[in-house]
Amino acid sequence: MSRLDHYAAPAEPRAVVLLLHGGQQHNIEPVKDRHASWWRMAALARSLRRHAAENDLALSLLQYAQRGWNDPIDPSPVKDARKAISELSDRWPGVPVVLVGHSMGGRTACRAADEPSVIGAVGLAPWLPEGEPNSGVAGRHLRVMHGTQDSWTSPALSRAYVERSQGTAASATWTSLPGGGHFMFRRSAVWKRFVTDSVTDIVGVTSPHASYEDRT
């Protein structure tokens, strides 16, 4: 069974941010708190609490029922994400949702972005294989960052996905992080700032973010 943890829950948020963790291509084991893919995003969620409070954002993290993508037609994490989005929209009707996903979570975010309440997706080193359909981001805002030293997911393929989505998405940008790896340990502050600025940009609170190379 999937689980939704709330890290910030204002009475009247201006937007909802849903975090989506990574996983594996094939694995039907249930996700546990001890799994690195989940606690990596839990750590990010904790670090975002202050930003959420200061900007009237609801902040939640989904824990999938299963560790893997598993089914190419009806992926397990996408079903869980859609259920979580529905739950959040029932709690805060009419409030826009931004999906933020790492690795497999980035792929999940792009697939589930077609839910009516979702206005954008943020991908952190997303797993976007060749031929990945991009209909989910049609009319949504897409922001992707990928480290140049990532050996787990492909920066080139995520960039190709973003470029393919330009003109279909409401907006789509790809940011390279020189020296960055897959797990966001190196230059973690830059990854976090990319999330906060991307969410701010998508929600429309401030003007678009500046260059990330100026913040390293």
141-199 confidence digits (pLDDT tens): 999 999 999 999 999 999 999 999 999 999 999 999 999 999 998 889 999 999 999 99
Q: Number of structural domains, the chain?
A: 1
pLDDT at residue 85 in the model:
98
CA distance 128 to 205: 28
Reported as a pLDDT band with limits 50, 70 and 90, residue 2 is very high
Percent of the chain residues past pLDDT 90, beyond the cut: 92
pTM recorded for the entire structure: 0.94
pLDDT at residue 215 in the model:
37
pLDDT at residue 75 in the model:
97
36-52 confidence digits (pLDDT tens): 999 999 999 999 999 99
| 118 bridge partner residues | 97
CATH number at residue 52: 3.40.50.1820
Indicate whether 211 pLDDT > 80: no
Take residue 100 and report the two structure tokens written for it: 């933020």
Indicate whether 214 pLDDT > 90: no
Find the mean pLDDT for residues 21-40.
97
Q: Which amino acid is at 13?
A: P
Range of the domain at 138: 3-215
**Closest to 112 (Cα-Cα) out of 88, 80, 90:** 80
Quick one: CA dihedral 51, 3, 21, 78, positive or negative? negative
Find the mean pLDDT for residues 10-36.
97
pLDDT at residue 209 in the model:
38
β-strand 118-124 against 141-147: which pairing, if any?
Answer: parallel
Which DSSP state fits 166?
B
Indicate whether 216 pLDDT > 90: no
**Closest to 143 (Cα-Cα) out of 196, 70, 67:** 196
Mean pLDDT value across the chain: 94
Reported as a pLDDT band with limits 50, 70 and 90, residue 30 is very high
pLDDT at residue 186 in the model:
85
**8 A C-beta contact, residue 129 and residue 161:** no
pLDDT at residue 208 in the model:
37
